[in-house]
Structure formats: C-alpha cells, structure tokens
Amino acid sequence: MNVQSALNTESLLKVEGLSTKIKTPEGVLTVLEDVNLTIEKGEIMAIVGESGSGKSMMINSILQLLPKTLLEAYSGNIEVEGENLFAIGEKKMQEIRGKKISLVAQNAMTSLDPSYRVGKQIVEIMLEKTGLTKEQAKEKALNLLEQMGIDDPKRIFQSYPHQLSGGLRQRVVIAMSLACDPDLIIADEPTSALDPTVQLQVLDLFQTINQQFGTAILMITHDFGVVARIAEKVAVMYAGQIVEKGETADVIFNPTHPYTQSLIKCIPNLDWVFDKGAGKKPLWQIKGEPPNLMNLSQGCRFFNRCHVAKDICQSTNPLLKTVKPYRNEHSVRCVLIGGGNE
C-alpha cells in the first residue's frame, strides 16, 4: 500500500464551484451555478430536484458528455481521485468514462440497442475497455447478470432488449454499468420508469452493489422516498443551484430551505390519504413555475414561489451557509437562515 492510498485523503469525486454554461438559440444559459459536491469512496449520495433543475446537466458535466455544439464553457473544478477532469484531456477522459465513473441510464427501455442481444452489448463494453478475452468477458457478464438477481442469466444474455420486461432491462443496464468495475455509478432516475414493487427491488439492488463491490453511487432522483431508502447524503437542487445539502436524516427530518420544506410537504402520507376531510384539505403545492434561467434576477431563485419570502430575498443572492458544521455538515442556500457562509 503506498502512502497516498494509506492516507486516503482524496475524495472519489470532488466538484468545486462548478458552473456550466450552454449555448441555446436564445443565448448563453447558465444551467449549473456554483455546485459543490464531494463523494467519498463507497458512499451513496442522492441529488433531488424537479425537471429542469440541472440534474442531468450535472451528469453531463461530470462525464463531460455535453456536445461541443451545445457547450459554452465550464468553470470551477471537477476532480476524480485528485485528477482535474478539465485538465486531463479527452483521451484520459475516455479512460475515466465507464471504468472509473459509469452511468445507469434513465430510461432502460430505450438505452439498449434494439439490434443486438443484451449480452453482446455488455461484452462489447468489456472488450473495449478492459483486457478481458471474449470468453472471460462473457463469463463475467453472465456472473454480473446473476448478481443482479436474474434467475436465468444465460437466457437473458441471449435475449434482445424488446424481449425483456422493464425491470429486467433496468437490471441489464445496471449490470452494464458495472461491466468495468467502476468506482462510482451515477444513476439517473433509475427507478422512475418502473412499477413500484420493481422500484424497491432495484433500489435494494443498488444497496447490495454498494455493499458488495464498494461502489459509490450518485443517485439522481426527484423522489424523497428513494433518498430516504438508500442515500447517506443528499443535495437538493433548484434552478441549477444546490439549495440544501447534508446527511439524509438531517435534510429529511430537519429541512431548512423553504424549497426542501415544500418538497417534503408535497409527499402525501397515510394520515392525509385516510383523512375524512381529505377532500377539503388539498395536498401542499408549490405555487408557480421554476424561474426561466434566461432572465434571472439577482436575488434568490426561489423567491417567487417561496412561502416565507421577504423583501431581502429579492435583492440578495444567497450563498450556501453551513447550519451544522463538521463531518456531517448541513448547509443551506437561504438568506433567512443564520449561520456562516461556506
């Protein structure tokens, strides 16, 4: 063991002050602003946010998959095990994709090539990214499929995507993401297209993978149920910014940002479902629409929809402030909350 790994001071993934700007026909759009994230080895972290909050842009920025025609500029830093992704060049980046960081695609229904047997697609990745022979790759793929809780891996290996159910396809996609033993899996809403029972199975599968392989997982979701079930840490995103992040228990039981509070209030619980006066008592909703990133005011991006907004919110751009320091840091981007700036 060398000194570096013994000290193990480097985080697996470190995103610092990341801003991503893209080109659109209307002009340049800042889809991510001042994003800070750290994922340690073997950790499960979730990013929560509604559509358009920048979750997918986050993935595309980390894996640097934004096409040149779309990307205006990155700023800030993304480090994988201490290596700055913006400095290493495309060739090394290709090495990191799949091998260090891999993706579990959002829609398993459309993320497998309909023209090839699924086994062949897993093997294809292994053959190109690892030094395995064809036989070794096939054996490993069959093993992976079995570890994904698939009963007859041989039959699934030989199947075409359209012959599999949604749950099976998702398992195949997860097996594919593990093809080159990555240190981090980014799962992009891996359960939103699945039946509720299958959702739980797939979530448990992620947990098993995390425990068995020690793979860190960055779970992108809009569902606090998913967060509560598997994530250790969570970051809440709104309009391209992280508005709150911390340990899952802290954020769920003690949501501090008004947006997080609203999101959690939106989840119907059984008390509400079985309330006799349910018809009269509407479920909490967040009024209005997310802001247009094209013309943002200088104040808080949640101002227009916030239930506790004050005048100061409109004029002051809030910074991420630590409300609970040290190891299990909890921080919030809201001017109304006390505490020191990060």
Partner 1 sequence: MLRYVLSRILSTIPVLFGVTIVVFLLIQLIPGDPAKSILGADATPEAVEELRNNMGLNEPLIVQYGAWLSQLLQGDLGYSYTLHTPIIEELMPRFVNSLILTVASMLICVTLGVILGLISALKKGSFFDKASMGVALIGASMPVFWIALMLMWLFSIKLNIFPVSGMYNMRNPGGFMDLLHHIVLPAFATATVSLAVIARLTRSTVIDILQKDYVNYFHSFGLSKSKINIVHVMRNSLPPIINISGLQVGYIMGGALFSEVVFNWPGIGQALYVAVTSNDYPTIQAGILLIALTFVVVNLVVDLLNVWLSPRLQDSIKAE
Q: Which stretch binds partner 1 (CB under 8 A): 45-53, 96-104, 142-150, 332-340?
A: 96-104
For residues 155 and 149, what is the distance between their CA atoms, to the nearest angstrom? 13
With vertex at residue 173, the alpha carbon angle to CA 169 and CA 175, rounded to the nearest 5 degrees, is: 115
Residue with smaller CB distance to partner 1, 130 or 317: 130
Minimal distance in Å, beta carbon 103 to partner 1?
4
Beta-bridge mates of residue 21: 30, 73
Task: Phi first, then psi: give them for residue 146, nearest 5 degrees.
Answer: -65, -40
**Under 8 Å between Cβ of 134 and 127:** yes
**Under 8 Å between Cβ of 90 and 172:** no
If one asks whether residue 158 binds partner 1 (CB under 8 A), the answer comes out as no
Please report how many Cα atoms fall inside a 13 Å half-sphere around the Cα of residue 77, on the Cβ side.
Answer: 10
Q: Which stretch binds partner 1 (CB under 8 A): 106-114, 139-147, 148-156, 283-291?
A: 106-114
The structure tokens 């992704």 sit at 85
If one asks whether residue 285 binds partner 1 (CB under 8 A), the answer comes out as no
Q: Which stretch binds partner 1 (CB under 8 A): 75-83, 94-102, 139-147, 284-292?
A: 94-102
Which of 4, 17, 95, 267 lies at the binding interface for partner 1 (CB under 8 A)? 95
Q: Which stretch binds partner 1 (CB under 8 A): 21-29, 92-100, 229-237, 325-333?
A: 92-100
For residues 232 and 176, what is the distance between their CA atoms, to the nearest angstrom? 24
If one asks whether residue 129 binds partner 1 (CB under 8 A), the answer comes out as yes
If one asks whether residue 156 binds partner 1 (CB under 8 A), the answer comes out as no
Which of 5, 84, 94, 143 lies at the binding interface for partner 1 (CB under 8 A)? 94
DSSP 166-213: HHHHHHHHHHHHTTT--SEEEEESTTTTS-HHHHHHHHHHHHHHHHHH
Q: Which stretch binds partner 1 (CB under 8 A): 155-163, 164-172, 253-261, 300-308?
A: 155-163
Site residues (CB under 8 A) for partner 1, limited to 56-85: 63, 65, 69
Minimal distance in Å, beta carbon 90 to partner 1?
10
If one asks whether residue 125 binds partner 1 (CB under 8 A), the answer comes out as yes
For residues 80 and 10, what is the distance between their CA atoms, to the nearest angstrom? 9
If one asks whether residue 102 binds partner 1 (CB under 8 A), the answer comes out as yes
Minimal distance in Å, beta carbon 63 to partner 1?
6
For residues 126 and 146, what is the distance between their CA atoms, to the nearest angstrom? 17
For residues 62 and 18, what is the distance between their CA atoms, to the nearest angstrom? 10
Where do contacts with partner 1 occur on this chain (CB under 8 A)?
63, 65, 69, 93-99, 102-103, 105-107, 110-116, 124-125, 128-129, 160, 162-163, 173, 176, 179-180
